[in-house]
Structure 1
Amino acid sequence: MNVTLFGAEAERLEPLIESHETLSLVDEPGDVVVCFGGDGTLLAAELKWPNIPKVPIRNSRRGIRCISDPPEETIAKLAEDSLVRTEYLKLGCRVVYGDQEKSSKDLLAINEFTVHMGRVNTAVRFKIWFDDTAFGDNDDNEIIGDGFMVSTPFGSTAYFNEITRGTFWSGIGVAFMYAREKTNHVVLPEDVVVRARITRGPAILAYDNSSEYIELVEGDELVIQRHAKPAVMLVPEA
């Protein structure tokens, strides 16, 4: 099995990998990526290699999604092929710009997509639809606030929880940040398509812990839905 190590201190695992005849270290991912760090390390690895299974080994105080067992035990189970394949829903987001000269952009997230006001002293205005059904109590369905988030169950223990003080185990969660209108956070079936349009910007779109920010202005739209391919992790049997 070809193994790629990922993380600031991942080289510490090299002797463990090399001690097993069934494992081979490679620079570019082949069969599996072993992440050594916290949840941020796992997110970064998933952004870089979205279609490769991950073994997230904890090397951080912040790593609730990572394996807390001793690294040598987890590596031994990987060598024995006894780790359990676990799949997690991911979201895809297509950014469709109002300026037709700009090409649309496709993004992936395992945690969440977050739209936030682009200036600290100016609220963002937007409209949002769930399967083409407008959400909101106003006549024009426009929502004014700091922004909104679309989260997976995997990501609901992170920023979504900070906003809502809740988590969920299936579906797609939508949370609103300091909305002027009375809006409840919602959890939708996982096959629902979420569409949002910026009606007054500026705003920025962030996803997972990517360093990339997407600038949004009036007329830009987002189409967010379940991605065809889940994130795959190999973990010890519960």
Structure 2
Amino acid sequence: MKTATKKGPRILRVALFGAEALDLAPHFDPYDNLRLVENNPDVVVSFGGDGTLLGAELQWPGRPKVPILNSRLGHRCIPHPAADVIRSLAEGTLVRNEYAKLECAINPAAPERADPDFTITCLNEINVHMGRINSAVRFRLWINEEPFDGGSEIIGDGFVACTPFGSTAYFNAITHGIFTQGIGVAFKATSHKTNHLVVAEDVEARFLITRGPATLAFDSSPEYLSLEDNDELIVRRHAQSAVILTCGPVRRLHEPF
């Protein structure tokens, strides 16, 4: 007669991310079900500020993140002692939250400059800014192939396309507001009568750079992309969401973790 074997707790593979993240390693010693790894983690613990969390999502997209605050600024990081947060991770009591991400397909006018349909993803925002400090960016915008403002050319310092999660960042600096659903687009230092719009999350926004140069940045990535005349950007919701684990439920978008 076979005897049932009692299974132990599931072992979580945990990666640490951040300039001082290795300082957290001793806090994991008491827990047999937490194993520190460098590759293929089940969970990523970021130790820093909001930029560190964004960097962790860029490196390990879709893996659950535990953002522990180790910075003077960190609205999206857990401000509790690291030992308490890691204990909650071991006990399985952290709360799962999912946040929409964006993807941006970049179609250069000159195909030799990049692979066709080169795509980046972001949790916060796509940020396009003028490439020369004394030369404005000109662009046009289509929403689901409907031209914005009759196809008017917009002139300014650039634009931002962001998620609700990212609306507390640059979008808020431009508009002094946030949003909780959809995709936000904000125009930087423009003379256009409208400086932002928020569209449904299933909408596709297409931007055409009519006069560059411009520079594209996304989240906290150290990589920048140069944009030239007639380059096209297509922004839509990404199929995968970001997963962030917190010590308690996050009821409002602007509520700190």
Inter-partner Cα distance in structure 1 for 2:62 and 2:225: 23
> Do residues 73 (structure 1) and 79 (structure 2) align?
no
103, 128, 145: which one pairs with 1:115? Answer: 128
Q: Tell me the SS of whatever aligns to 2:128.
A: strand
What letter is aligned with 1:88? Answer: Y
Give, in whole Å, the separation in 2 of the partners of 1:204 and 1:136: 24
Correspondence for 2:72 among 61, 65, 90: 61
Q: Deviations over 1:164-200 (max 9, x none)?
A: 1111111111100111222231111111101000111
Q: Aligned pair in 2 of structure 1 residues 63, 29: CA closer, same or farther (>3 Å)?
A: farther
Where in structure 1 are there 5+ consecutive unaligned residues?
none
- Residues 1:88 and 2:119 aligned together: no
Contact 2:188 2:195 in 1 (8 A): no
From 92, 104, 115, give the equivalent of 1:103: 115
For the residue of structure 2 that corresponds to 1:122, the secondary structure is coil
Which has the greater radius of gyration? 2
Report the TM-score, using the length of structure 2 for normalisation: 0.89
TM-score normalised to the size of structure 1? 0.96
Q: Answer whether contact 1:32 1:54 (CA < 8 A) is retained.
A: yes
Give the distance between the partners of 1:123 and 1:11, measured in 2 at CA. 44
SS at match of 1:55: strand
Contact 2:175 2:195 in 1 (8 A): no
Residue aligned with 2:195, SS: coil
1:22 to 30, 33, 37: 33
Q: What residue identity is the alignment partner of 1:129?
A: W
Give, as a single letter, the amino acid of the residue that structure 2 aligns with 1:118.
Answer: G
Following superposition, the deviation at residue 54 of structure 1 comes to 0.5
Per-residue CA distance 1:183-237 (angstroms, 9 max, x = gap): 2311111111010001111111111111111111111100000000001111112
Q: Secondary structure at the match of 1:155?
A: helix
Query: Matched residue of 1:136: which SS?
Result: helix
Amino acid at match of 1:95: I
**One-letter amino acid of the counterpart of residue 224, structure 2:** Y
Match of 2:229 among 218, 226, 234: 218
Distance in 2 separating the partners of 1:100 and 1:209: 26
Identity fraction in percent: 54
The list of structure 1 runs, each at least 4 consecutive aligned residues, that deviate by more than 3 angstroms after superposition, is none
For residues 47-98 of structure 1, give each alpha carbon's deviation from its aligned partner in whole angstroms, at most 9, with x where no partner exists: 1111211100111111000111111111011001111111100000000011
